[in-house]
Structure 1
C-alpha cells in the first residue's frame, strides 16, 4: 500500500498522510494534488511516498487524494532541500513555503509595463571599460570546492553595471550553466526581459508572481526541461528550477522589495547567497547605494567589492544643491521654479519626485488640532482632489472631506503636507508654459497610461515628469537636465532604524536620473532639515562618510549588521486580546532567553504597540528579539511561540531579519 506525505499550505508544522486516488497513476514527489482537509479542499504538494504508515497514523482514517494536478514533478530533491532550508530559516511551515515557491499560486493581474526610455540593455555586446573588464575577470575566476563567490558591483548610476551582468551571463551560458537575474520591481522585469530576449533569444525566461498561472507554469516547465537557462524575474525567481546554476545576479540590491511581506517572509538576497554556495555558483549584487548590511560585508571582506567610477555615456555627475524650505509658503521654491524654466528654455527636460501621492496628506483642525484618521487604521486619511475623497492608503477606506471639525465644530480646518496631485496643480497654475505628466499609483491604473507617458516623455512632448518612487529608478532619458526632490524629509520621521538609510539611497538614486548623457545635470533637494546627515551627505555625494557614520550609530544601538533581529507581530480585531497575547509571548521569550549562556544572549524588546498600531481594524503589538546569533534567536522564538499555543482571535506574524519595523 502506498502512502503519500503531502505538505499543505496551513500554519501547522507537519506533513499529512493521504492515499493515492483509486484511478490513474500514483503521483510522484514534486506533484501538486487536491486533497480534502477538514471541510475544505486544498492544494498540497507530495513531498514523499512510502509503503508504510508513520507512527500513530491510523490507516482507516486516511482520505484519498481528490485530484492530481501535475503529470510530471515540478521539482527535484535539491530544490526540495532549498524549500526545507527556507522553511527552517524563516520559521514557517513547509506547506506555506512550497505554496510561495511553486508556480500558479498567485492570481493573475494586469501590470503596467515600464518602457519609453533608452534601452538599459544593448542588443549586442558593448565595448567594456578597464573597470568593467577587471570586474568580469575577477568574478569569472574558477572556484575551489566549498569556496564562496560573493561579489558586489558598486558603481555610480550610469556606470555600466548592466553590461557587466550580461557579459557574465553570456560566459555562464557558454559554460553550460544557468543564470538567475533578479530585479526589484515587476515592471522593471518586463522592461529588462524585452531587451534580454532580443540579445539572448529563446534561452531567456521570465518568472514573477504577476504572470497568469498558465504562463508562469509554462515558463517553469521550459526552465525545468533546460530549454530556458537565463531566468529574469522579481524576488520569487530566485526559486527557479534550474538544474545547474552558475550565476545569480541581484540588481539594485538595496531595494526593500526583495523582502517578502507574507509568510514565508524570505529575503531573496539571503536565499540567493545560500543557493550560490549549494550550487557552486557566483552571486553578484549591484547598486549605487548598497544596503548598510552589504556595505559592512564589503568592509569586512565577506563580499568582494568591485568599483565602477565613471559614466559610460559621457555625462558627468550632476551638481546637487539643497534648498531650505523651512517656513516657506509653498512647496515649489523660487530656485526650483527658475531651474525648471531655464531647463525648458534650453530645450531640456525635468523630473520632479515626491514620495507622497494625493492632493494633501492630512486633514487638520487649526483650533483643536484634530486629525482625520482612518476609522480602521491608525494613520491619517489622504485627500484626493480628483476624486473629492479622503482615502486611506493602507486599507483603501474612503470618506467625504470634512468641512467642519468633527471634534470641536470649528470651521478653521485645512490640509497639511501636500502630495503629487497638489504639486501637479501648482505647476500647471504657476508655470503654465510647461507641460506636466504625473506618474503614481493613482494615474497608472488605466491600462497603457504608464507606457504612453514614458514614450511621450522620451519624444520630448512632456517637459516635466512628476511622480513617486516609480520615477526614482530605471528611467534613463537623455534629455533630462534637472531633477527636483520636492520634500526630501518624508521618510525621516518614520520610527524605523533604517529611515536614514532609505532617505540617503532615495536622494542618490533620484539624483542619478539627471545628466546621464550631458555635463550640465543639476539636482535641487528641497528640505526642512538640510543639516540631517542623510540629506547633507547625499547632496555632497559623500557616500563613504554616510555609511561610516550610519555604521557607528548601528553599532552603538546594537542594530543590524551588528545583531540579528526577529520581529513578532500579534494582531487581533480585539485590542485586549492582542495586548494580552503579546504580554504572554513576551514573558515566554524572556523565560527562554534566561536559559541561554550569557555570551550567547538574546534581548527581548517589548511588547509595545506597533508604530502603525491599527491596520484594517486589527490592533497590532510587536516584540523584537535581538541577538548576535540566529541559532539562539530561532531557539528562543520557537519556545516562546510554541508554548503560547493556539491564541484565540489572535494572529501571529514571525519576521526573521525584518527590513521594516512599522
Structure 2
C-alpha cells in the first residue's frame, strides 16, 4: 500500500506536489485518480501521477482530503502525452491534464440522437475509383500520415468511415475529429446506426458530467469510435489504430486557453506514440499541410477531384457592393427568388453576429467602444442591447452622443440579425431561420434547425461559420455570401488564406446533387486575389501565390513562430514586464538561431480590462525558437498580477 501520492495541479507551476495518503484511503488512491487536496488556504482538484512508499521532506506534508473517482480516468499513455504537452507547449503537467480530463463529478448520459432515415446517411455501396484508391492507400499504411485532398462533395466522409470500419474490424479504436458542434451532430447521426451505437460523442456542448459518462464508456471498452471536436483527441483508448481529422484547415482545432495546443499536433504525437495512422482531409488544406503534401516525405497526398453524388461544382458570380443600394444586391435578390420558385433551398452566410456593429456621432466623430476591450460594441436588436463579443459587456443602445449630446448619431455595418430582418421583409412567405452563436445558446436549437432544414421545412438558412463547412443538404441550390470582406482587413498574415478557404467551403454547400448550384459573392473588393482565385475555382493557383508571398516575407510554413502575450490590469506593470522579458530573450538570442521579430501592444490592446502586450519570436525551424523560449522561461516568472500566455505556432496575432 502506497503511503504518498505525487499530485499535479492545474496551476502554472513547474513542479508537482506530494501528499500523504491516510490509512483508510490507501486502497482507494491510484495513478489516474482525481483527488481533492489542500493547497495554501484553499482546496483544489489534483491529478495523481505517481505513488510512493517512502518520501522524505523537511516540511510537514498535508493529506489528500478525498478521492473523486471510483476508478482511474487516465493511464500511462495519456500521462506520457500530458508530459509531452507540458514540454512542447511550455505549460505545467497539471494544466495539460486539466485540459484533457472531463471535469464532471457524476455521470449523466447524453440524450439519445434521433437518427433520421435519409438516403445521404446510408452506406454508399458503389465507391468511385478515386475513393477506392484512397482507401486502399490508407489501409496499406506505407506512410504515418495521409491527406485526403478533395473538392467539396467528393465523398471524403465515406472514405473516412470505410477506413474506420477496417480499423475497428482489426480490433483497433478510432477517433474522428470535426471542427464544429454542428458537424459533430450530423456525423453522429450518420455513424450511430452504422456502428451499432458503439459510438462515444465528446464536444463542448455536453456538460462536464455528460462528458465524464462518455469518457468512462471509452475506458470500459464499450465503444470503439469517439466523435467530437478538438478535445476528443484525448479520448482514452488503449488500442488506438486511427485518428481522422476532418476539415484540417479549421482554426477551431487550436485551443484558445493554456495549453494552446493544436489538435493536429497532438494527433500526430499520439499516432507516433501509439503506432496509429493519422488521416486528414479538406478541400482547402492549411498552407502548412499543403507544403507537406508537396514535399511528400511524411504525408501521402490522396486526391478526390469529382463530386460523387453527380453534382458539379457551382457557378460563381461576384457582385461589387460599391454599386448597390442595399445589403442584399439585386443579383442575390433575383437568385433567391428563382431558387425559391423552384422549391429549392438557400444558404446565406455572413461572418458577423448581431444587427450592426459601429456607433458613430456625425457631429463630433465619437465612436463607441467597449470600456473593457479595444473593440466596437455590436448592437443586438432582438435584446435591445449593445454587446461586446470579447468580454460580454452589455449596455443600452445610445440615441444621443455621450460626448457632445448631439442626436445626429448612426449605427452602421451589418450583422446576421439585420440581414435576417431584410430577408424576411423581401421574402415574407419564405421560412427563414438564423443559426449563429447567439441563437445556438437556446437548448436544442442547432439540432432542430439543421433537422428542419434537411427535411425542407426551412427555405432560407442564414448563419455564421456554423453553416459554412461540412454540412450536406441535398436541396440547396444557392449560396449567398453577404459580405466576403469581413476577414480581409484583419492585421494578420493569414487573413488571405482564411478568406479564400471560407469562400471555397461556403460555396461547396451548393449543387452537391445536381448541376444547378450557384454561388453569389458580395464584396467591396472584387479584385482581391483570394476572391479572384475562389471565383475561378483555382485552389492550386492561390496556394502557389500565397506560398511565394510567405517565402518572401519569411512567415510560416517557411518559419516557426512563438507569440508570448503578457496581460494584466496595470498597464505600466505589463509594459515593464514585457521590456524585461524582451531583454532576456534578446540576450539569449545572441547564441540561438532565433530572433525577436516584434514587441509592443497587441493589435487588440485591451480585452476584459486586461492590457495586452506581446513578443513575437521567429526561427527557420521549430526547435530553435522553442529552445530559446524554453531556456528563458525556465528561469523567468512574471511579477504578481501579470500573466504570461505562450502560444506556439499562433493562428492569429490579435
Q: TM-score, normalised by structure 2?
A: 0.95
Q: Describe the superposition over 1:570-625 as per-residue Cα deviations: whole angstroms up to 9, x where unpaired.
A: 111111111111111111111111122xxxx2121232111111111111111111
Q: Is the 8 A contact 1:103 1:220 kept in 2?
A: yes
Residue aligning to 2:605: 613
Q: What's the counterpart of residue 14 of structure 1?
A: 15
- Partner of 2:513, secondary structure, is coil
Q: Which residue of the partner structure matches residue 86 of structure 2?
A: 87
Once the two structures are superposed, the pairs formed by residues 154-233 of structure 1 within 5 Å of their partners are 154-233=149-228
1:556 partner SS:
helix
1:108 is displaced (CA, Å) by 11
The answer to whether the 8 A contact 2:484-2:521 is kept is yes
Distance 1:351 1:246 in 2: 37
Cα drift, residue 149 of structure 1: 1.6
RMSD (CA atoms): 2.3
* Alignment partners' CA distance in 2, 1:142 and 1:483: 38
Partner of residue 288, structure 1: 283
Asked if the contact 1:117–1:475 (Cα under 8 Å) also holds between the matched residues in 2, the reply is no
**Shift of residue 345 of structure 1?**
1.8
Which 10-residue stretch deviates more, 244-253 or 424-433?
424-433
Aligned counterpart for 1:548 among listed residues 541, 544, 562: 544
Contact 2:152 2:307 in 1 (8 A): yes
Tell me which of 310, 334, 343 is aligned to 2:306: 310
Match in the other structure for 1:5: 6
Measure how far apart 1:383 and its partner are: 1.1
Instruction: Give, in angstroms, the shift of residue 444 of structure 1.
Output: 2.8
The equivalent residue for 2:346 is 350
Using the TM superposition, give the Cα deviation of residue 110 of structure 1 relative to its aligned residue in structure 2, in angstroms.
Answer: 13
Aligned residue in 1 for 2:41: 39
Q: Which residue number corresponds to residue 627 of structure 1?
A: 619
Cα distance change, pair 194–622 in 1 and its aligned pair in 2 (3 A): same
2:107 touches 2:213 (CA, 8 Å); kept in 1? no
Structure 1: runs of 5 or more not aligned = none
Provide the C-alpha distance between the structure 2 equivalents of 1:110 and 1:386, rounded to a whole number of angstroms: 34
Name the CA distance, whole Å, in 2 between partners of 1:331 and 1:114: 38
Change over 3 Å in CA distance of 1:128–1:559 after alignment to 2: same
Q: Determine the C-alpha separation between the residues in 1 that align with 2:635 and 2:365.
A: 45
Q: Pairwise mapping of residues 239-388 of structure 1 onto structure 2 (< 5 A)?
A: 239-301=234-296, 302-388=298-384
**Corresponding residue SS for 1:590:** helix
| Structure 2 equivalent of residue 558 of structure 1 | 554
Matched residues in 2 for 1:288 and 1:579: separation?
Answer: 43
**Partner in structure 2 of residue 656 of structure 1:** 648
Asked whether the equivalents of residues 3 and 26 of structure 2 are also in contact (C-alpha less than 8 Å), the reply is no
1-side partners of 2:578 and 2:107: how far apart?
36
2:460 counterpart (464, 477, 496): 464
**Greater CA deviation, 291-300 or 576-585?**
576-585
Q: 1:458 to 1:142 in 2, by over 3 A?
A: closer
TM-score by length of 1: 0.94
Q: Which residue of 2 aligns with 1:412?
A: 408
Deviations 1:78-116 (A, max 9, x none): 221111111111000001111111122699999999999
Given the superposition, is the C-alpha separation of residues 281 and 519 from structure 1 closer, same or farther in structure 2, using an over 3 Å criterion?
same
Give the deviation of 1:329 after TM superposition. 2.6
1:638 paired with 2:630, answer yes
1:115–1:455 Cα contact (<8 Å) kept: no
Alpha carbons 2:488, 2:495 under 8 Å: kept: yes
Residue 200 of structure 1 aligns to a residue in which SS?
coil
Secondary structure class of the residue paired with 2:439: coil
Whole-angstrom CA distance in 1 between matches of 2:121 and 2:575 = 56
Cα pair 1:114 1:187 within 8 Å, conserved: no
Structure 2 residue aligned with 1:451, among 443, 447, 451?
447
Tell me which residue corresponds to 1:577.
573
**2:437 aligned to which of 432, 438, 441:** 441
Post-superposition Cα deviations, 1:341-373, rounded to whole Å, max 9, x if no partner, equal: 111222222111111111111111223332110
Query: What's the counterpart of residue 24 of structure 1?
Result: 25
CA apart distance, 1:204: 1.9
SS of 2:471's partner is coil
1:540-562 alpha-carbon deviations (Å, 9 max, x no partner): 11100000011111111111111
Name the CA shift for 1:463/1:220 in 2 (closer, same or farther; >3 Å): closer
Contact conserved, 1:154 with 1:305, CA < 8 A, in 2? yes
Distance 1:611 1:631, change over 3 A: same
Deviates more, 1:354-363 or 1:398-407: 398-407
- Greater shift, 333-342 or 473-482, is seen at 473-482
Q: Which runs of 5+ in 2 are unaligned?
A: none
Residues 453 and 50 of structure 1, relative CA distance in 2, 3 Å threshold: closer
- Cα deviations by residue, 1:451-488 (Å, 9 ceiling, x for unpaired): 33333333433322111111212332222111110100
Asked if structure 1 preserves the Cα contact closer than 8 Å seen for 2:416 and 2:463, the reply is yes
Partner of residue 506, structure 2: 510
Whether contact under 8 Å (1:121, 1:163) holds in the other structure is: no
SS in 2 for 1:82: helix
Rounded Cα–Cα distance in structure 1 between residues aligned with 2:46 and 2:552: 47
Mean Cα deviation higher: 567-576 or 464-473: 464-473
Q: Count residues with an aligned counterpart.
A: 651
CA distance in 2, matches of 1:182, 1:38: 39
